[in-house]
Amino acid sequence: MKTFNAKSHLSVSFFLLTISAGVLTTLCVNSCKTTKKTEVPNQKVELIKEDSTAQEDSTEYELIVMDSGFESWLATQPPANYYSQQYYENWNHLYVTEWNNRHNNPLRYGDFYETHIDYDPNTDYGLELNYKLYYYFRFIEKEYGIVLVPRGR
């Protein structure tokens, strides 16, 4: 896993990992303190798929967010079952599409969207991962003031 230092000394990144059965989906958080909230660090995202060779094994996914504020912010949000998995998947598809568009256009959007997110809307990532990914995008919107997908109110 690569780490990087942003101008604000805040490392914010998340990774989607594929793990063989038996490994719980978890959220890992780690970063440095920021001196200015207005500065925005680069983002790094990876989706790594490890195919299982055993018949009994299934594939599970893990979301790792490296931002000191995300875990405590997530704890203030509604529980995962507040919305359906389909709700989270629909929003995640929109968010990931916009994220990847910005990733592919660094001259226009800068280097904040450092890595392409390999999110397949036809893959069942499970409720917990979709919940955490959805709220990560919401965190980016709230914490950094970046509107990825306009929401009607």
Query: Has residue 10 got a pLDDT over 50?
Result: no
**Confidence at 64, pLDDT banded by 50, 70, 90:** confident
pLDDT of 3:
35
What is the per-residue pLDDT for 145?
A: 94
DSSP codes, 12-51: -EEEEEEEETTPPP------PPPS-SSS---B-EEEE---
**Which three-class secondary structure state does DSSP give residue 121?**
coil
Find the radius of gyration of the CA atoms of the chain: 15
How does residue 60 score in pLDDT terms, banded at 50, 70 and 90?
A: confident
